[in-house]
Amino acid sequence: MKRCVRCLAGALALVAGAAYPQAHQPPKVEVDAYQWESPENPFSGDAEAIAEGQRLYRSTCYICHADTGSRGPNLRKSKLKGQAFLKVVINGRKNTQMPAWKGKLTEAEMWKIYSFIEAPAPQ
Please tell me the distance from the alpha carbon of residue 54 to that of residue 77, in angstroms, as a whole number.
16
The average pLDDT across 42-55 equals: 96
pLDDT (0 to 100) of residue 31 = 56
Residue 123 has pLDDT above 80, yes or no: no
What percent of the residues of the chain are helix, what percent strand, and what percent coil, each to the nearest 5? 50, 0, 50
- Catalogue all structural domains in the chain, each as residue range(s) with its CATH number: 26-118 (1.10.760.10)
pTM check: above 0.85: no
Residue 35 has pLDDT above 80, yes or no: yes
**What would the 3-class secondary structure string for 20-33 be?**
CCCCCCCCCCCCCC
